[in-house]
Amino acid sequence: MTRFALTYEFDGTPFQGLQRQKHGPSVQQAIEEALFKVTGEEVTLLSSGRTDAGVHAMAMVSHVDIEKDLTPFRLMEAVNAQLRPNPIGVNRCEIVSEEWHSRFSCIGRRYLYRISNRRAPAALAKNRVWQVVPQLDAEAMHRAAQSLVGLHDFTTFRSTMCQAKDPVKTLDRLDVERVEGLFGPEIHIHAEARSFLHHQVRSMVGCLKLVGQGTWQEERIAEALEARDRQALGMNAPPHGLYFVEAIYPEGQK
């Protein structure tokens, strides 16, 4: 039995999320079915994170145990061939130790949220950004975001469906910047933590958008956090602007 770590990207638009779902297609299901076609084995894909329906990933990391004798390159090429036409691409495959676990060995996760801040429709970035037409004040959003960095009770910013036992998390980074790119002006929100609550990033982004457009004063973010009440939440950002960017592991692992 060999344990393989897979690093892959996907467009979350046609999926009900990364994890297997009873009510629709998932990224996990697509990869497991591709692995079955390659190996003839029914395997379970275990991942470093979860994503909601419509959320994308740049470098999701998962692992799988396989009995068939395959090199990492051959496995990666075969799985990619079987995944077509699903918008999933495995770009790295490597053998890891039996003790290594994509989820439990992970010490950090990074997310990016993209807001297209222009009037013209985001034709090429459809389903990949949240389009907000009024100009947003990225500097005010960044200042307000700093009140969320650190160890806090994030009850206000967690889904009512969140299964985490404890709402207390340490947010290591929440930076907001305005970027002038190929697709016009965008607001990028960078979030990093060891782990996140369900909908935490989208909830934080939704409230920061209210600050950026002047609906909320900057201090309202800290007040919402202190309330520890979901009723204090301003809004949830839609899923299609969110990207899982990176799973971080201790140096020398994986």
The CATH number assigned to the domain holding 68 equals 3.30.70.580
254 pLDDT above the threshold of 80: no
Confidence class for position 27, pLDDT limits 50, 70, 90: very high
- What is the distance of C-alpha 181 from the center of its chain? 21
* Residues 6+ away with beta carbon under 8 Å from 8: 31, 57, 59, 60, 62, 88, 89, 90, 91, 92
Query: Is residue 151 included in any domain, yes or no?
Result: yes
In a shared domain, residues 229 and 116: yes
> What percentage of the chain carries pLDDT values higher than 90?
92
Q: Which of 51, 76, 96 is the last residue of a domain?
A: 96
Query: What does the pLDDT read at residue 163?
Result: 80
Supply the pLDDT for residue 21.
Answer: 85
Tokens 């894909």 appear where?
Answer: 45
Looking at residue 160, its pLDDT comes to: 85
Closest CA to 45 of 90, 12, 109: 90
Q: Residue 162 has what pLDDT?
A: 85
Whether residue 36 is predicted with pLDDT greater than 70 in this model: the reply is: yes
Cα angle, residue 14 at apex, residues 230 and 65 outer, rounded to 5°:
90
Instruction: Examine the fold and report which residue of 96, 131, 146 is the final residue of a domain before the chain moves on.
Output: 96
Which one is catalytic: 11, 52, 69, 229? 52
| pLDDT at residue 22, rounded to an integer | 83
Residue that terminates a domain, selected from 71, 96, 121: 96
60 lies in the same domain as 118: no
Per-residue pLDDT at 145: 98
The DSSP code sequence of 67-135 is: -S---HHHHHHHHHHHHTTSSEEEEEEEEE-TT--TTTT--EEEEEEEEE-SSS--STTTTTSEE--SP
Asked if the structure places residue 102 within a domain, the reply is: no
What is the token pair recorded at 92? Answer: 């790295």
pLDDT-derived band at 251 (thresholds 50, 70, 90) equals: confident
| pLDDT greater than 90 at residue 86 | yes
pLDDT by residue (tens digit) across 200-239? 999 999 999 999 999 999 999 999 999 999 999 999 999 9
Total domain count, the chain: 2
Question: Mean pLDDT across the chain, nearest whole number?
Answer: 95
Q: Is the domain of 68 the same as that of 173?
A: no
In terms of domains, do 163 and 112 share one? Answer: yes
Same domain, residue pair 116 and 220? yes
254 is a domain residue = no
Q: Residue 120: pLDDT above 80?
A: yes
Tell me the CATH number at 205. 3.30.70.660
Above 80 in pLDDT, residue 252? no
- pLDDT of 172 above 80: yes
Domain assignment of residue 15, yes or no: yes
Domain that holds residue 183: 108-248
Q: Is 52 a catalytic residue?
A: yes
Among candidates 34, 5, 1, which has minimal Cα distance to 247?
5
Determine the Cα–Cα distance for residues 32 and 94; give it in Å rounded to an integer. Answer: 17
Residue where the block lists tokens 């989208």: 202
Question: Do residues 69 and 164 both lie within one domain?
Answer: no
pLDDT of residue 182: 82
Binned at pLDDT 50, 70 and 90, residue 102 comes out as very high
